[in-house]
Amino acid sequence: MEKVEIGTPRKINSGLILLGLSLATLMTSIDTNIVSIGLPIITKSLNTNFSSAQWIILSYLLSITVLIVGVGRIGDMFGKRNLYLTGIAIFTFASLVCGFSSSVYMLITARILQGVGGAILMAMSFALVGDLFSKEKISQAMGFLTSMLTLGIALGPSLGGVLISMFGWHIIFLVNIPIGIGAFVIAFQFPKMKVTHAKQGFDWLGVMVLAVALICYNLGITFSEAQGASVTVVSLLTFAAISTIVLLLVEKKVSSPLIDLTIFQNKVISGSLAISMIVYAMIMTISIVLPFFLTDAQRLSTVEVGLLIAVGPLATTILGPIAGKAASRFGNQAVMIAGMIGFGIGCCLMTTLTKNSSPFDFALRIAISNGSFAFFQTPNNAAVITSAQPEQRGVISGLLNLARTLGQTTGASLMGAIYAYFTMAAQKAHSGEVHGSTSSITPAAIISGVHGTFLVVTVAVLIAIIIGIFTLSQKKESSTD
């Protein structure tokens, strides 16, 4: 394949680059879930219903998921820096429109546009790290950038709650304006790299087929939470599978594919992407299941639950840069596998939680799980980016983010269903009946549900570890050839 972006970066302030990338990453990460805390107020303010209001969140996530690989490819073809600046401008402008929206339809439209900017920023941020930092410093830069991603997820609900209570729901969008302007000013100073426009077309057919597959999959998984295996859900997931098969056939035949399927022959890339989907799906169990344990089994207040759950993202944020330094010293794959082992141990320890477990017992377990997750997340991202050719980093960064979002979407639905199954089975075994109200589920049944769910998580992480070891062995073998 002809290279589309070449050039040698001049001597630059790496700290300034990292600051610009971090601001944009933090901004998009916060907006992933900051809206959820204000959804009830927005629903009342715009005089709409929940069915319409939930699209305020879903439209943003769908927009990012559908576009992230395509914009990564555009960055590879025509230059990442200018596309990154465009993404910041789109996201900031869309945030302004969101903040001044007077109807739910205007807000949803602006959120779709915001998702376009978010997709560009997420796809380009990791790719730019690969282009602008030396190979020795990529892991450390990834560690810091990954910490911003996690920090944004942790800050979203709490920051949103504070801002809304003080200024109203509009502020959760308008707060992006100064951040976006600051990120744009800094990113404008990124070094310009020579771009050779490749004499090849953009794979619009591949983009459209991928979009159909992702929309159907995400809607199917989302609807399954309320509808189960309904005709609608089965139809959507079936069409997603068919679209995926069509995509593979299309990508094999077009001269300039959206996704060059040969990249999956690289064991590091294909293995890391597979592991990402598994691990990100499993990490969702902590935020989906454990609040039920704290609220309904231990009878803790909302504030206490929020503080204890926040220990996890805080541990990931703090340890992210440390994980980057460890990866630089000991290698990405070794640290990645060690992180997964620690994550698996933390999840296994969740199966020993009881009604009488102290807050310290809980905090220790979630700190081990999420802290170890940082040692997976950072080197995994670095391993994928450093294994990619410069002209492929945009699309591979998009695939990396796609694996994360698909894993989170799948985990939210799948692990929620598994928890419900174990809980209801325990309730039925204890009382001989299953009540429809969640408030009638006994603490014993909830604890059994937590234990069963995290046992499944532990097994899934073990599978991911095996894949990681296989990937590592392939890396060693290839290095000796």
The dihedral of CA 176, 177, 182, 183: what is its sign? positive
Q: Is the pLDDT of residue 424 over 50?
A: yes
Burial of 199 (0-12, 13-18, 19+ CB in 10 A): exposed
Highest mean pLDDT, choosing among 150-154, 414-418, 456-460: 456-460
Highest mean pLDDT, choosing among 18-32, 39-53, 71-85, 87-101: 87-101
Question: How far is it, in rounded angstroms, from Cα 348 to Cα 421?
Answer: 19
Kind plus residue range of the DSSP H or E element containing 362: helix 359-387
pLDDT on residue 111 = 92
Q: Which has more confidence, 467 or 153? A: 467
Same fold, 1-198 and 261-481: yes
Query: Which residue, among 200, 196, 290, 207, has the nearest Cα to 243 in the 3D structure?
Result: 207
Flag the least confident range among 145-159, 207-221, 442-456.
145-159
Residues 124-137: what's their mean pLDDT? 78
Q: Is the pLDDT of residue 104 over 70?
A: yes
pLDDT on residue 42 = 84
Question: How far is it, in rounded angstroms, from Cα 34 to Cα 275?
Answer: 27
pLDDT on residue 195 = 58
Q: Which has more confidence, 5 or 98? A: 98
Q: Is the pLDDT of residue 106 over 80?
A: yes
Hey, how many other C-beta atoms are within 10 angstroms of the C-beta on 217? 21
Q: Is the pLDDT of residue 241 over 70?
A: yes
Q: What is the domain partition of the chain in residue ranges?
A: 1-198, 204-253, 261-481
Residues 96-118: what's their mean pLDDT? 92
* 281-331 per-position pLDDT tens digit: 888 888 778 888 888 888 888 678 777 887 888 888 888 888 888 888 888
Assign domain 261-481 one CATH number from 3.40.50.1970, 2.40.70.10, 3.40.190.150, 1.20.1250.20. Answer: 1.20.1250.20
Flag the least confident range among 295-299, 358-362, 392-396, 445-449.
392-396
* 32-76 per-position pLDDT tens digit: 777 767 777 888 888 887 667 778 877 888 888 888 888 877 887
Average pLDDT taken over every residue of the chain:
82
**Position 280 confidence tier, pLDDT thresholds 50, 70, 90:** confident
Homologous superfamily of the 1-198 domain (CATH): MFS general substrate transporter like domains (1.20.1250.20)
**Position 478 confidence tier, pLDDT thresholds 50, 70, 90:** very low
Q: Is the pLDDT of residue 127 over 60?
A: yes
- Sequence-ordered list of residues with C-beta below 8 angstroms from that of 368, at least 6 positions apart, any chain: 342, 345, 346, 349
Q: Phi/psi of residue 5, each to 5°? A: -140, 120
Q: Is the pLDDT of residue 203 over 50?
A: yes
pLDDT on residue 63 = 86
Flag the least confident range among 9-18, 361-370, 443-452.
9-18
Residues 78-98: what's their mean pLDDT? 91
**Position 461 confidence tier, pLDDT thresholds 50, 70, 90:** very high
